[in-house]
Structure 1
Amino acid sequence: MEEGLCQDSVHGSGLVDKTRIVEVKPLRSLAPMLPKSLQSSLSRRYPSRFSPFVLFEEPEESQPSPAPIPAPIRSFRKPLDEEEIPHGVNGDPSSPMDGLNGKSVDDNQRRIVQPMNSCKSSQKKSRKIPEFGSSSLIGGISVAQRDDGDRKVVTLVLMTFDSLRRRLCQLEDSKELNTTMVIKRADLRASTVMTGKAFRTNMKKRVGAVPGIEIGDIFFLRMEMCLVGLHGQSMSGIDYMNIKDEFQEEPVALSIVSSGVYDNDAEDDDVLIYSGQGENFNKKDKHVIDQKLQRGNLALDRSSHRHNEVRVIRGLKDAGNKNVKIYVYDGLYKIEDSWIEKGKSGGGVFKYKFVRLPGQPSAFAVWKSVQKWKTGSSSRPGLILGDLSTGVESIPVSLVNDVDSEKGPCFFTYTKSIIDPKPFSLVQSSYGCNCNKTCVPGDLSCSCIQRNEGDFPYIANGVLVSRRPLVHECGPMCKCFPNCKNRVTQTGLKHQMEVFKTKDRGWGLRSLDPIRAGTFICDYAGEFIDRAKVNNGGYDDEYVFDTSRIYNPFKWNYDPSLLEEISSNVSSEDYTIPSPLIISSKNYGNVARYMNHSCSPNVFWQPVLYAENNQYFLHIAFFALRHIPPMTELTYDYGCSGHADDSSAPQGRKKCLCGSTKCYGSFG
């Protein structure tokens, strides 16, 4: 009998007697293999200082300590050869984004940031970058941290990867990369750089939870999950390892990625019916075949007998882009049942019933609830108003209180802009660019790009590449079209926001949609006021945004040493503001007035300048510091009016209730 299922073993009931299936013994060769033609030339293709793409080539047994960090990769000056395209687990040169249950997934996701420290220095130009974003950690993750991470290291790896990806996208958009390169996707190139420098964590395979990764964490790319050890396969939907006991050695499943393509939707959000991997139709011979009980399928079968925990990652479509998938870690499951049924083509398909372990925080269930609220198929508990903005925003802003009986916040007038803004005098040859239709990245004749030091500040979907002293956007004075990609902060809300009542911090703000790192969230709207009125106590400090406050320094931009760029050519992250800007949102404001303070925020502000009516006006724009799951409160650093360690600092600091592990106890 052929290994796997006999075609005639499928009964009319759709079930099969699994005792008739010939089991395939675990193979040592399940480790990544390369074709003979590639094996013979492996050393020739990879220079001595450039290791092959081994992000997913992990043996089933324990791994040796990582090799010393190689010299920096000349990813720009010495392009990869065509043969150096990253390969998958079995040497398959297909895209690493392929293979959710044997099918390809979205590969157009082309395009994660540091917690802040306390206010310690008044010298903005010489202030010390916190340990979390310190250059001493770049490429310097210890051997122990590579095997076993924690939340800090996981976040560092993810944010470093995304900062590199954004920069590579920016260079690609502006055609500064070698156009003859085979590898065009920034995520593959960024992961190659990270892997070459051993900038990874949780490389040691394990059953159960992964240190530093929390249930509900989201990922926009499969590479992100691989770099932090959540799911070690770039293509396959099943990750597994061999476990040896006193009797035998056999594979067990560690994690699965549910693509949503083959997997059935169970009525219970804590139950997943997962389909095995492998085609059940032979395209070459054009006949129906059965999935085989080997590799990942065999590992799932053994795990169903062992009842070991399996990590489950759910792949969901992005509401804003149907061609993009977002992956959410849904926690630990166990396989309670398995069977075989006929697939659409007639071949036998393995089915596994995964049941979520009780007592875990909700993740996938939250996504499902949000989808029902947005489509109106389910009522929103605690809904007070459907649109707090009363039509001012193009996307409704709901008002919700499911905590107590309060009917809403104090009255204010909703506005999307600053009332009576103060213009700034800048030495400029013109107030706008002369571009046709839209500004093009890399076009140095564009005056707006020139003001941004030659870089286009955004990549696809309006994602900010780097924090800058000042971002210059095109404005109404420019000749480019209103849909120019350099007008990101002028187009209003991008996500469906919700003002909600917190348990202990008054009203807060969150999004019903997932938000990618670097994505614009909103402006800070309100009344422009002068400092004298603030000092005289004429305005409630709770609703005042002041650019002259001392804000905790942090590093968000990519490290140029990873790409062998000259650091002196990299823009500073210290803001350059023509003069202090103070905005009060007490009487006039938008959703930004509801963002609470946090010592470990997930949002940061960026000064943005553009011209209107022959004058330049400064705006405060908020961007996502890291990937933010839906229904997660949005917070930013309120800054300090004095030094945290200065006895002469003004009194009246507020008690902080952010709940962060790095909470400094007070703010303001």
Structure 2
Amino acid sequence: MYVQRLHGCSVQCLSSESHLQELCRIEHVCCTPLGVNRKNICNFEVEYLCDYKRIQDEELYLVKWKGYPDSDCSWEPRHHLKCFNLLKQFHRDLERELLRRAKAAGNTPSRKSIARCPRRLDSSLSHHVVLKAKQRQRLRMWEQKLNNKHAHPGFILVENEVDLEGPPKDFVYINQYKVGEGVTITQSAVGCKCRDCFTDEGGCCPGGFQHKLAYNEYGQVKVKPGFPIYECNSLCRCGPSCPNRVVQKGIQYKFCIFRTSDGRGWGVRTLEKIRKNSFVMEYVGEIITSDEAERRGQIYDRQGATYLFDLDYVEDVYTVDAARYGNISHFVNHSCKPNLQVYNVFIDNQDERLPRIAFFSTRTIRTGEELTFDYNMQVDPVDVESTKMDSNFGLAGLPGSPKKRIRVECKCGAAQCRKYLF
């Protein structure tokens, strides 16, 4: 048997550094590379705080130690704890729950009285803060999973300060279309030979389809909604810095998936300022046939939600279903006065039945503002150059489309709200 000794080779450890440190402390093993030594081997990490009580002037917290079972939780005085963020979060959760209960009882207590922590928590209050701590852990794990899966530079934050809802079940984050059963996609792109696509509009990809270049020098869309966008593709002579490559570069912003407080479920807000007419995100999901969309739409309608988006640039043949497979656009809500507009985009695949759906900002969007689009967007056919363009960008199977007739109340809150989605 021949054994080869490989010097300088390494494999990635599947455990995190913090987990390895926990194992060292549990087994009382010092490890210099992990920073565990005799001085700090007895320093244990607080996972979350479970309860609170005040005996005379001393504040005590019931601590759940990371890496240890619930049976090992212990009461610790506040001055022993160095987890300042967890302490702050514990009292914030407590104050919010006390305020919620007071409002439910018809009281309007002052913030000062709410901030005054009771000497002891009743079992329902301590149970609530534990549930919030565990929920926050699940959301952090989901947040990490999302950021590990997405292929764009923008970071995704997740937060829920409204209820105890955790990550959505059976949702798979994808970066591009997933081809469903009965759908065949053939890459049919033709590349341009431009040396400067910005100045040679006629010879560039848009010119080959009798259209103008869709972007200005800053990557902002300059054509009206309803006009298709043809970007340069993998067969083009131009490089990645070509001004006619925008959507294909992916999301460039940091977003937050957050729980709405008005019953609209999850929503998305931007953590950065977005300029007017800038590309924001794609709507991706599973491409299915319209017949399959009809079948799924009936099921989704009974559940009170749907994520079906017709690809009807030429004809209603295919539909994008983002219910289970999708990206962050899965969580973008409807508004009768949206800040996002839909465009049909063609890059490597120029089959007019299978455009890519891109959202561009209709105006400057401020940091912290929620992103929305109109589920029943209408395009003035007079302004549409292509006679093939269907003027209705509506989601397939949603109320108001030929496939569905049930009306759903709109909760967007816009001054000109239509009261119903359709």
TM-score range, shorter chain: 0.5 to 0.7
Aligned to 2:295: 536
Aligned to 1:416: 175
| C-alpha deviation, 1:517, in angstroms | 1.3
Amino acid at match of 1:666: Y
Q: Report the equivalent of 1:633.
A: 370
Q: Residue by residue, what CA displacement relative to the aligned partner does 1:120-151 show, whole Å, maximum 9, x if unpaired?
A: xxxxxxxxxxxxxxxxxxxxxxxxxxxxxxxx
Q: Percent identity of the aligned residues?
A: 28
Whether the 8 Å contact between 1:431 and 1:615 is mirrored in structure 2 is no
What is the one-letter code of the residue matched to 2:218? N
1:483 aligns with 241
Change (3 A) 1:631 1:517: same
Structure 1 residues 644 and 392 mapped into 2: Cα distance closer, same or farther (>3 Å)? closer
1:319 paired residue number = none
In structure 2, the CA distance between the partners of 1:410 and 1:649, relative to structure 1 (3 Å rule), is: closer
1:439 aligns to 2:197 (yes or no):
yes
1:652 to 406, 413, 417: 406
- Measure, in 1, the Cα distance between the counterparts of 2:400 and 2:177: 34
Q: Which residue identity does 1:661 align to in structure 2?
A: A
Select which of 461, 464, 475 maps to 2:221: 464
User: Which is worse superposed, 527-536 or 413-422?
Assistant: 413-422
Q: Is the 8 A contact 2:400 2:406 kept in 1?
A: no
Give the residue type in structure 2 aligned to 1:464.
V
Give 1:482 shift. 2.4
The count of residues paired between Structure 1 and Structure 2 equals 254
SS at match of 1:398: strand
Tell me the TM-score normalised to structure 1 length.
0.35
TM-superposed deviation, 1:649: 8.2
How far apart in 2 are the matches of 1:509 and 1:644?
23
1:434 to partner: Cα distance = 1.2
Shift of 1:642: 9.2
Report if the CA contact (8 A) 1:409-1:507 is conserved: no
How far apart, in 2, do the equivalents of 1:649 and 1:529 lie? 15
Shift of 1:511: 0.6
Deviation at 1:512, TM superposition (A): 0.3
Compute the displacement of 1:412 (Å): 1.4
1:615 Cα shift? 6.4
Contact 2:227 2:344 in 1 (8 A): yes
1:520-549 deviation digits (Å, cap 9, x = unpaired): 01111110011111222366351211244x
Task: Check the 8 A contact 2:279/2:360 in 1, yes or no.
Answer: yes
Cα displacement (A) at 1:578: 5.6
TM-score between the two structures when normalised by the length of structure 2 = 0.54
CA change 1:404–1:511 in 2 (3 A) is same
Greater per-residue helix proportion: 2
**Residues 478, 608 of structure 1: alpha-carbon distance in 2 compared, 3 angstrom cutoff:** same
Q: In the alignment, is the contact (CA less than 8 A) between 1:452 and 1:472 conserved in 2?
A: no
The one-letter code of the counterpart of 2:171 is F
1:620 aligned residue: 357
Note the alpha carbon deviations across 1:16-44, whole angstroms, 9 max, x for none: xxxxxxxxxxxxxxxxxxxxxxxxxxxxx
Whether the 8 Å CA contact 1:469–1:577 is kept in 2: the answer is no
For residue 498 of structure 1, what is the aligned residue in structure 2?
256
What CA deviation, in whole Å up to 9, does each residue of 1:146-181 have, x standing for no partner? xxxxxxxxxxxxxxxxxxxxxxxxxxxxxxxxxxxx
Letter in 2 for 1:653: R
Distance 2:409 2:169 in 1: 22
- The answer for the alignment partner of 1:237 in structure 2 is none
What aligned pairs does 1:326-365 form with structure 2 within 5 A after superposition? none
Residue type of the alignment partner of 1:665: K
Cα root mean square deviation, aligned = 3.1
Equivalent residue of 1:474, what SS? coil
Deviation at 1:519, TM superposition (A): 0.4
Partner of 1:401: 160
Letter of the structure 1 residue corresponding to residue 326 of structure 2: G
2:172 aligned partner, one-letter code: T
Q: CA deviation at 1:645?
A: 9.1
Aligned partners of 1:601, 1:655: CA distance in 2, in Å? 17
Amino acid at match of 1:532: D
What secondary structure sits across from 1:448 in the alignment? helix
Q: How far apart in 2 are the matches of 1:397 and 1:622? A: 17
Q: Distance in 2 between matches of 1:485 and 1:403?
A: 42
Q: How much has 1:661 moved relative to structure 2? A: 1.0
Q: How much does 1:410 deviate?
A: 2.6
Deviation of residue 611 (structure 1)? 2.4
SS of 1:582 mapped into structure 2 = strand
Query: What residue is the counterpart of 2:310 in the other structure?
Result: 546
Q: Letter of the aligned partner of 1:392 in structure 2?
A: H
1:228-243 paired onto structure 2 within 5 Å: none
Partner SS for 2:252:
coil
3-state SS in 1 of match to 2:213: coil
Structure 1 residues 602, 443: closer, same or farther in 2, change over 3 A?
closer
Corresponding letter in the other structure for 2:320: I
Corresponding residue for 2:39?
none
Question: Counterparts in 2 of 1:161-560, with a 5 A limit?
Answer: 384-385=139-140, 386-387=143-144, 388-393=146-151, 394-420=153-179, 431-436=190-195, 438-451=196-209, 453=211, 455-467=212-224, 468-503=226-261, 504-537=263-296, 540=300, 542-548=306-312
Stretches of structure 1 that go unaligned for 5 or more consecutive residues are 1-381, 549-575
Report Cα offsets for 1:456-489 as digits up to 9, x if no partner: 2101331000224211111112221123211110
Q: Is 1:664 equivalent to 2:418 in the alignment? A: yes
Rounded Cα–Cα distance in structure 1 between residues aligned with 2:179 and 2:165:
33
Q: Deviations over 1:577-608 (max 9, x none)?
A: 36544101122100111111111111111001
Question: 1:494 Cα deviation (Å)?
Answer: 1.3
What is the alpha-carbon distance in structure 1 between the residues aligned to residue 280 and residue 403 of structure 2? 32
Larger RCO, structures 1/2 (Cα 8 Å, 6+ apart): 1
Residues 433 and 448, structure 1, Cα contact 8 Å, conserved in 2: no
In 1, Cα distance between equivalents of 2:403 and 2:286: 27
Judged with a 3 Å threshold, the aligned counterparts in structure 2 of structure 1 residues 547 and 653 are, in CA distance, closer, same or farther, namely farther
Q: Which one-letter code corresponds to 1:465 in the other structure?
A: K
Q: Secondary structure at the residue paired with 1:606?
A: strand
Distance 1:620 1:528 in 2: 12
